[in-house]
Structure 1
Amino acid sequence: MSRRVVLWRHGRTEWNAAGRFQGQTDVALDNLGRQQAREAASRLAALQPNLLISSDLQRAQDTIAALAGLVGLDVELDARLRETYAGEWQGCTSTEIASRWPDDYKAWRSGDPLLRVGGGESRQEVAERMFAAITDAAARLPEDGLVVLTSHGGSARLGIAAAIGLPLHRFTNVGGLSNCSWSMLREGDDGWILVEHNAGTLPTPVVIEEG
């Protein structure tokens, strides 16, 4: 078996629920987000990870803490796993952004990799730092090892696109990650392969009474 990398999005925050662009604003998990982290951690623990690394933003740290407690591993922090720094857009809703910065919002929605989001980072810059974090973490694994990287919705998608060689102007072809869902990359002969995406979004099973 080859090396594997799990990119795990943090649980829900109040800003997620309100549809606000978080970026690097350090918003904590809400009650549902903490519950999501516990439930997802119970599934990810079955993968027996060798290494746990998190974005240094609190919502990511609190998410991975649920897994660390189950598998008995320490969590390392890596600021390269942060969400895109979105400058003036942070704290705004999509409606507010579209109203105040209509041209930039249209370019962002179309997947422009060079646009500096809210005057902050571009997707190109985020993809480069995310890919470096992924490859550095994977290099520390044994041949059949697995690392869980707790990150954020936009930055995780960009890391995936960079890892599988998807041109960044087609970044939007990688679907969004739901809160506390994850994707898995496996190392292949010619690079990284996306083998799972947005896992953890299965509905709660229906309870059927026997008899």
Structure 2
Amino acid sequence: MPHRDLTRIIAIRHGETAWNVDTRIQGHLDIPLNETGRWQAQRVAAALADEPLAAIYSSDLARAFETASALGQQLGVPVSTERGLRERSFGEFEGLTFREIEERWPDKALRWRKRDPAFEPAGGESLTTFYARVVEASGRLAGRHAGHSIALVAHGGVLDCLYRAASRVDLQAPRTWELGNASINRLLYTADGFTLVGWADTHHLEQSGLDENTDGDRVGHAA
């Protein structure tokens, strides 16, 4: 396919937060980076210092925007926020640990763990709704920059959706890929959709953040 029809995407998960360490569900709650996360953001920026990015898009939540801002400052590229890149909304689960959720709502926790696409925590999103939101927003942003490279800075759950879209993996399939904090992941986008190029690069980190998808799901959903 012609080079001008391709958009190269660097998808980055935000740096570590205190709630990642605690395995506490963040979802749409606006939790900042911790000290390690800020260090990771600077390492991502240094690793991508030579990338010719036409644009940097970030979730509007602080943990992603802080990570994106470090990259934007490194490259002199402004960061644009996109609400469609937010983590999955987990409603009543947000602010709780995995253990607390299982203790309070064992039946709901089981549906979550089994990746029921229709399951919605009260006040939250289903996997089906979340996936559609992420793929639409990411494709729309990438479509603006055919022939160029962009960065999407978001959350573990968002990256999980992009991996599944690019690899044609079903929403209910168990996750076998990593979603590390401050990981660098590469995809291509055309009108036909996403293609996977490289995944879970953390060589720029002297010590990696949590590999668990603790924004929203160690048991198989979103981060």
Q: Normalising by structure 1, what TM-score? A: 0.88
Structure 1 position 128, deviation (Å): 0.7
Give the distance between the partners of 2:187 and 2:85, measured in 1 at CA: 16
Q: Is the 8 A contact 2:87 2:156 kept in 1?
A: yes
The alpha-carbon distance between structure 1 residues 131 and 83, as it changes in their structure 2 partners (threshold 3 A), is same
Q: Is the 8 A contact 2:165 2:194 kept in 1?
A: no
- For 1:180, the aligned partner's letter is A
Give the distance between the partners of 1:150 and 1:6, measured in 2 at CA: 8
Residue 135 (structure 1) aligned to one of 128, 132, 139? 139
Q: Is the 8 A contact 1:161 1:174 kept in 2?
A: no
- SS of equivalent to 1:47: coil
- State the partner residue of 2:130: 126
Is 1:46 aligned with 2:50? yes
Structure 1 position 110, deviation (Å): 1.7
The alpha-carbon distance between structure 1 residues 122 and 176, as it changes in their structure 2 partners (threshold 3 A), is farther
Residue by residue over 1:104-145, the C-alpha shift from the partner in whole angstroms, topping out at 9 and shown as x without a partner, is 2122112221111354101111111111111111111142x1
Alignment size in residue pairs = 203
Q: How many percent of aligned residue pairs carry the same amino acid?
A: 34
The alpha-carbon distance between structure 1 residues 203 and 57, as it changes in their structure 2 partners (threshold 3 A), is closer
Residue 61 (structure 2) aligned to one of 44, 57, 63? 57
Residue by residue over 1:144-181, the C-alpha shift from the partner in whole angstroms, topping out at 9 and shown as x without a partner, is x11111111112212332344322122x3352411111
Map 1:70-89 to 2 at 5 A. 70-89=74-93
- State the partner residue of 1:96: 100
- State the partner residue of 2:152: 149
More helix by share: 1
Give the distance between the partners of 1:46 and 1:117, measured in 2 at CA: 42
- State the partner residue of 1:160: 163
Give the distance between the partners of 1:9 and 1:138, measured in 2 at CA: 17
Q: Give unmatched runs, 5+ long, in structure 1.
A: 206-211
Q: Is the 8 A contact 1:87 1:118 kept in 2?
A: yes
The alpha-carbon distance between structure 1 residues 113 and 176, as it changes in their structure 2 partners (threshold 3 A), is farther
- For 2:201, the aligned partner's letter is A
Q: Give unmatched runs, 5+ long, in structure 2.
A: 208-223
Structure 1 position 42, deviation (Å): 1.0
- State the partner residue of 2:28: 24
- SS of equivalent to 2:20: helix
Moved more, 188-197 or 32-41: 188-197
Residue 187 (structure 1) aligned to one of 182, 186, 189? 189
Q: Is the 8 A contact 2:58 2:85 kept in 1?
A: yes
- SS of equivalent to 2:157: helix
- State the partner residue of 1:9: 13
Larger gyration radius, structure 1 or structure 2: 1
- State the partner residue of 2:212: none
